[in-house]
């Protein structure tokens, strides 16, 4: 989760209180009830990456304990420290330490808890029983189904939603203006489209693009290593018009110029066939989506990028001729 970039802008502009968190109104409302009562159960935060799960955990702790909240919070990234030894040693030692004066419990945040081993989860389950009087656990997971049922049943469940476009763009504008970064408004919308509601990823892209100067659409695509949608659409439509050789030339140019892997390009093709810019019949869209899925599976299994993408373009050429695409 951590990166050199994240330690800069992401950490600097991370919301500090529950009131600053957007798009998670129901979650914030419930967490504020715990702050008011100065008590809470074990919590399980689930949802896509970059939607505020870790931020909400820290904001909750800050509002419970004040500015020195880190004295009473133990944070572990379970993807790095996920073995049974960590659960038995670090967590157990912290759970036994003294509690703060006004709040009858301390908090242990286990980030990326869905990456914990089965043995570690069983050990954690037992610790949650033994130390529940003086310790509360906040488990953070992208895939809650990977958390064993006995732990899920001990936690209050909170599901986080992807952030809305207007909220992501507004935050990016705020950061850019505070950092004195010049930007093209269209570039901020492009960042949202690439990040798909992941605020952390959006800020990292903004920071990387800003390192090149003014944040433009071209700069954004350059730093994320993706081809421009217009160029991908041109390749698709060239293939559908039956010009296989030209489409294959486009494909190789995209892979060389942008350094794309076959899997990256297939994902962009999949995204573009569902965009309003590609004018094809609904039946063709369904057939293409099905075949793109097959090609993606082959690439994930280790097939050659050039052979599989050439096969995809050849198939699109034959489909386009049957449909009479112009």
Q: The tokens of 181 are what?
A: 């970064």
Using 70 as the pLDDT threshold, list the residues of the chain that sit under it.
Answer: 1-7, 78-87, 325-326
Residue among 145, 157, 136 at smallest CA distance from 45: 157
Position 87 scores a pLDDT of 66
Q: Are strands 155-159 and 73-77 parallel, antiparallel or unpaired?
A: unpaired
Residue among 29, 21, 70, 92 at smallest CA distance from 50: 21
Is the distance from CB of 146 to CB of 114 less than 8 angstroms?
yes
Task: Report long-range pairs for 239-246 (Cβ below 8 Å, ≥24 apart).
Answer: 239/313, 239/316, 239/317, 239/320, 240/280, 240/284, 240/316, 240/317, 240/319, 240/320, 240/323, 240/325, 241/320, 241/325, 241/326, 242/317, 242/320, 242/321, 242/325, 243/317, 244/313, 244/314, 244/317
The continuous run of DSSP H or E covering 206 comes out as helix 199-210
Is the distance from CB of 227 to CB of 211 less than 8 angstroms?
no
Rounded to an integer, what distance in angstroms lies between the CA atom of residue 324 and that of residue 303? 31
Rounded to an integer, what distance in angstroms lies between the CA atom of residue 74 and that of residue 295? 44
- State residue 203 phi and psi, 5-degree precision: -70, -40
Q: The tokens of 27 are what?
A: 């979650």
For the chain, domains (ranges, CATH) are: 6-159 (3.40.50.300), 167-224 (1.10.8.60), 229-323 (1.20.272.10)
Position 129 scores a pLDDT of 85
Length of the chain: 326
Is the distance from CB of 149 to CB of 112 less than 8 angstroms?
no
Burial class (CB in 10 A: 0-12, 13-18, 19+), 228: middle
Position 5 scores a pLDDT of 44
Is the distance from CB of 140 to CB of 47 less than 8 angstroms?
no
Q: How much of the chain exceeds pLDDT 70, in percent?
A: 94
Position 183 scores a pLDDT of 94
Position 83 scores a pLDDT of 60
- The residues with which 183 forms a beta bridge, in sequence order, are 215
Q: What is the pTM of this model?
A: 0.79
């Amino acid at each position: 989760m951590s990166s050199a970039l994240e330690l800069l802008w992401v950490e600097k502009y991370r919301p500090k209180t529950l009131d600053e968190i957007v798009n998670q109104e129901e979650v914030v409302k419930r967490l504020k009830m715990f702050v008011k009562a100065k008590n809470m159960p074990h919590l399980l935060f689930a949802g896509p990456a970059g939607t505020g799960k870790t931020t909400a955990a820290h904001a909750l702790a800050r509002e419970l304990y004040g500015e020195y909240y880190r004295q009473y919070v133990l944070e572990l990234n379970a993807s790095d420290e996920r073995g049974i030894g960590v659960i038995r040693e670090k967590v157990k030692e912290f759970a036994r330490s003294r509690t703060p004066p006004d709040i009858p419990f301390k908090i242990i945040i286990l980030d990326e808890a869905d990456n914990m081993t089965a043995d570690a989860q069983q050990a954690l389950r037992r610790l949650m029983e033994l130390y529940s009087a003086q310790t509360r656990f906040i488990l953070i997971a992208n895939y809650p189904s990977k958390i064993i049922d006995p732990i899920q049943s001990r936690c209050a469940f909170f599901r986080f939603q992807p952030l809305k476009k207007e909220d992501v763009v507004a935050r990016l504008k705020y950061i850019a203006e505070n950092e004195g970064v010049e930007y093209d408004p269209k570039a901020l919308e492009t960042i949202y489209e690439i990040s798909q509601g992941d605020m952390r990823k959006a800020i990292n892209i903004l920071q990387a693009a800003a390192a090149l100067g003014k944040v433009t659409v071209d700069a954004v695509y350059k730093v994320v290593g993706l081809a421009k949608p217009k160029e991908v659409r041109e390749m698709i439509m060239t293939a559908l018009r039956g010009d296989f050789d030209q489409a294959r030339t486009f494909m190789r140019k995209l892979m060389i110029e942008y350094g794309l892997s076959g899997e990256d390009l297939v994902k962009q093709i999949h995204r573009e066939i569902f965009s309003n810019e590609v004018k094809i019949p609904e039946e063709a869209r369904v057939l293409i989506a099905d075949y793109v899925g097959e090609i993606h599976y082959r690439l994930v299994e280790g097939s050659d990028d050039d052979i599989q993408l050439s096969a995809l373009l050849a198939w699109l050429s034959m489909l386009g001729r049957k449909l009479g695409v112009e």
